[in-house]
Structure 1
Amino acid sequence: MKFDTSHKALANGIRHGYALVQCTRDINSSSCRSCLGNITQDMRDCCQAKNGWRMLSPSCYLRYEVYRFYEQTPAPLPSAPDEYDYAPQPTPTPTPNIEG
């Protein structure tokens, strides 16, 4: 995969931002740079004052947030149930078929 992440101080170091860029595997490096350049220009026209945004195209992706959204620690898996946590389920007894 063609991707990169970055952390930069913005606005004279007061505000920090996190970005992720990614291109699909079916394009070469030159096309990737061109695609990212195009959506970066679109971003400048619409999104600079926002806290977070995503720009998508068929061949590349750019995401920016004010928090670190990549490489997050996954939530811990639930522990295995203890054998005493469950009450035994009663076995159903068949009802006799009585025809009168």
Structure 2
Amino acid sequence: MGKAAELIKANKYFMSSKSWCPDCKYAKAIFQKYGVLDKVKIVELDKIDPKEAESLEKEITAIVGRKWVPTIFFNGKEFGTEETLKKLESHDQTKKTFEQAGLL
């Protein structure tokens, strides 16, 4: 098992991110809005060792089939990206979805 898979397994709620990324900032703002930011393990790929970041990014890309940040995992499975959160917000479904995932 690679490092990314270990992080996803070890953290019920996990997000790969980059500190400068507007989409990542949006996702963090949604987690903050619902008071769950501290429950999500966020790895800022641009703030860790570049080789480790490259390895994590490649592994996450292999897991989900695309290279994108943020990539969010709930309960060991891909939850989606900021687009998933935007859709939930636009349909007033975020709270319900977070409750179903055990995040709230």
TM over 0.5, shorter chain: no
- Structure with the largest fraction of helix: 2
Greater Rg over alpha carbons, structure: 1
TM-score for the superposition, normalised by structure 2: 0.26
